[in-house]
Structures are given as C-alpha cells and as structure tokens.
Amino acid sequence: MPEYDLRPMPRIPRVRSVEGMITAEGLTKRYGDKTAVEGATFTVQTGKVTGFLGPNGAGKSTTMRMIVGLDAPTAGTVAIDGRPYRSFHAPLTEVGALLDAKAVHTGRSARDHLRVMAATHGIPRSRVDEVIELAGLTSVARKRAGKFSLGMGQRLGIASALLGDPHTLILDEPVNGLDPEGVRWVRGFVRALADEGRTVLLSSHLMSEMSLTADHVIVLGRGRVLADAPIDRLVQDWTQRGVTIASPRLSELAALLQGPEVTVTPSPDGSARVVGLGAPAIGDIAAAHGIALHALTETTGSLEDAYMALTADAVEYTSKELS
C-alpha cells in the first residue's frame, strides 16, 4: 500500500515581487567643466546590501542625489523599478534616503522634523514614535536638531529614511559619527531589510565595515564605475593570494622556492610571504629538504587591498606624505 504524506504542503515563503531595483544607464553629471559622474551604468539588486565605494570626490554622493531627483543628470538616466523618482506618488514608501546629516532644519525638534515628513504622506504619528524609538532618539526627540551631535544627526537621518517603510534604502555614509553600538545597529537593520527582499545601497569609507555588511560592491573612481561585483569575487580578482611562512632556515627555503613565477618577500617580523605557490607545494618542498616549518598560512587579501588596487589610479586627493 502506497504511503501518502498527509502532512500539509510546506508553505512556500511568499517572495516579494521585484521592487526597488535601481538601474543607472550612462549616468553623467557635469558641473561646468568638472565631471562628477561619467557614464555610470550599474544595477543595484533587491535583497542585497550593495556597497558604494570610492575615494572622496568619486561621485558617490552625486549619484545618490541623482537617484532621488535632487540633481538632474547631464546625460543618462537613473530609475527605480524602471520609473524615475519624480514619478512616484508616495516617494517615502519607495525610497528612504539618508544623503547627509544636514537635511534637517536646525530650528526644529527631531520629533517635529519627522512629523513634518510624515504629514506629507499621511503617515500616522504612531509610526513617527516607532522610528524615534527604533533609532534610539526617544530621550532627545524634543530637542532642537541644531543642537544634535553628529551621531544623533545620523540617527535622525536614518529615522527619517525609515519613516515610510521603504522598499529601497539609500544611505550615504550612515555610520559616520556613530558610536560602536550605533554601527552594529546600522549593520543589523541593513542586513535585516535586505533579507526581507529590499534594496539597500550604502556608501562607506570604512572598508572593514563594508566587508562585514555588503554582499555586492560598486566601486567608483573619478566618476566612473571601476568594478561592480560580489564582494568575494572582487577580493579574489583584485588581491593576490599568498602564503606566509616561517622557518629557522628561512633563507635556505626561500632560495629553494624562488622561481620565475614565484616571489618570496621577507617581512620584518622574520616571516616571509610567498606568492605564486600554494601551501601544499611549499610544505612538500620543505619536507623534501628536511627543513622545519614553523608557520604555513594561506592569506587572502582584504576588501581594502582590492579597493586600493582598483582605485590606485583614481585617487584624486592622494594624501601627501609628511616629511
């Protein structure tokens, strides 16, 4: 007798329809003869946290402002789900934007600022209180925004962005000025929102932060898109894998490993970094010659290494070495 599985069918989780995807095509912005963004073409996917990386002046903020229609592109288009921002009838429920901490009237309290924003869309007061609590602003909600610290201003900006419970979040340097707790909080909610299927685009100068938060990165340099890839692929493609070795007979071993494709670079701490040979090969060579190994560690590059390699030519404001 055949066995029937009488348990109810597993509920298929309802997948949100594709919403909030940002597409830029040939996006260009010039101010006089200065080009801020040049032919940027990219897609910010839903359900992912996309990091926007680039040196100062690379065009990140300008691009973000163009997405929400504050700046008009000189050429090209940018749309959310194929529609320009200006066509939305409920923009705050489509896109939540934190562009910079300075988008709040300094004479108005945090709560009044959020009430004003909410009033434009008929968002109820309960939601205003909710985002105040969510952003940890309860104790300062009645204080005038002009007296806020940078971190508090950021929290207010984030509260403002979350007000309409938007499908897409655009956050320009959201962790700037936040305390470690705040940084963790941003990382947490950004992750949670992406996991719900929303689109998150955030810029940050903090590479370690970005590698913890983002799934995908778009690297801008001098207004152009230098890379648009998942974070691990970017690291793989733009950094060198190497092996760190240590041995009491290091110079002897180094001579054995050296070859046309292999470089051995000694480190000040007495170890050496080998590029071009895998750990097993190094181990085998050492064993064959009876050389003891004290360390044999595969090292991959970081997002920062990849970013540096990518933007080496694009850094406009290279820091001057202090002599």
- List residues near another protein by CB under 8 A: 65, 68-72, 85-86, 88-93, 95, 97, 99-100, 102-109, 112-113, 115-117, 119-123, 130, 133-140, 146, 151-152, 155, 160, 162, 164-165, 179, 181-182, 184-185, 188-189, 192-193, 196, 198
What phi-psi label fits residue 269: left (phi over 0), alpha (psi between -120 and 50 degrees) or beta? alpha
Query: Are 196 and 167 spatial neighbours (Cβ–Cβ below 8 Å)?
Result: no
278 sits in the region (left: phi over 0; alpha: psi -120 to 50; else beta) called beta
Shortest spacing between CB 104 and another protein, in angstroms: 6
Beta carbon of residue 16, minimum distance to another protein (angstroms, whole number): 9
Q: How far apart are CA 219 and CA 203, in angstroms?
A: 10
Q: At closest approach, how far in Å is the CB of 183 from another protein?
A: 10
**C-alpha torsion 292→271→206→175, nearest 10:** 60
* Cβ–Cβ < 8 Å for 220, 52: yes
Least spacing, CB of residue 303 vs another protein, in Å:
24
Measured CA angle at 135 (ends 231, 218), to 5 deg: 20
Q: At 187, list the tokens.
A: 């990382």
How does DSSP assign 140-190, residue by residue? Answer: GTTSBGGG--HHHHHHHHHHHHHTT--SEEEEESTTTT--HHHHHHHHHHH
> What is the CB neighbour count within 10 angstroms for residue 141?
19
**Contact status, residue 243 vs residue 279, Cβ threshold 8 Å:** yes
The radius of gyration computed from the CA coordinates of the chain, to the nearest angstrom, equals 25
Only one residue has tokens 């912005």, namely 29
Least distance in angstroms from the C-beta of 171 to another protein: 13
Q: For another protein, which is the closer residue by CB, 162 or 210?
A: 162
Q: Least CB distance from residue 139 to another protein, whole Å?
A: 5
Minimum distance of another protein from residue 144's CB (angstroms)? 9
Q: Which is nearer to another protein, 69 or 276 (CB)?
A: 69
- Closer to another protein at the Cβ: 163 or 245? 163
Q: State which residue, 90 or 287, has the beta carbon closest to another protein.
A: 90
Specify the residue, 165 or 215, whose C-beta has the smaller distance to another protein: 165
Residue closer to another protein, measured from CB, 95 or 217: 95
Q: Please, which residue, 115 or 273, has the CB nearer to another protein?
A: 115
